[in-house]
A and B are shown apart, each in its own frame.
Chain A
């Protein structure tokens, strides 16, 4: 079945560490997105990519980095520069342009310990 796979489901990070969240899709979608979700704040866009080897900053990109070397993959690195990284991270994909909306992964819960 086609879909988006995020891993790991739960991730714990020590202060000062970088961690990478994985997002893989087999839907042949061109566009991929990373969102952060905090209680009461809805979804906030971190980065998005509409095509391989190209990506743009979203509304809260500081402290995060991404790459898009393959169409299927859009990993997100949470760097030590991100001061409050504890959150639920969601990856999504779409056909891009005039699409019918996003398909979301099941999320990664990141906790700083």
Chain B
């Protein structure tokens, strides 16, 4: 079983739709959760960062963490064609020998069509 599972999609939605992206994980030591956005042929860029459980909102983006279910989500409201990219979830522990190492999902390819 992989540490982090993410449906690769592809996901295609019309402009203005609400997008939901999700990841599940197996390691209960994970405490830091991130979402990266990667445009084609570019390096990933950090989009959202949350610690432990709860919600975090930044403009049209909301990140949710449910540690009891080992499930994280990224919601995009009023999606735009410029949101078309691959979204990768990432997470890491706050202790132990793997401190500092990020574990990534496979990424979900999103297309928002006008």
Binding site for B on A (CB under 8 A): 4, 6, 31, 40-43, 45, 48, 50, 88, 90, 92, 94, 96-107, 109
Binding site for A on B (CB under 8 A): 6, 8, 32, 34, 36, 41-46, 49, 88, 90, 94, 99-102, 104-107
Total number of residue pairs linking A and B with CB closer than 8 Å: 56
CB pair B100–A97 under 8 Å, yes or no, is: yes
B43 contact from A48, A99, A106, Cβ within 8 A: A106
Q: Which residues of A contact B36 (CB under 8 A)?
A: 101, 104
Interface of B is mostly: loop
A104 contact from B41, B44, B94, B99, Cβ within 8 A: B44
A103 to B45, CA, bound (A): 7
Q: Which residues of A contact B102 (CB under 8 A)?
A: 101-102
B45 contact from A6, A48, A94, A104, Cβ within 8 A: A104
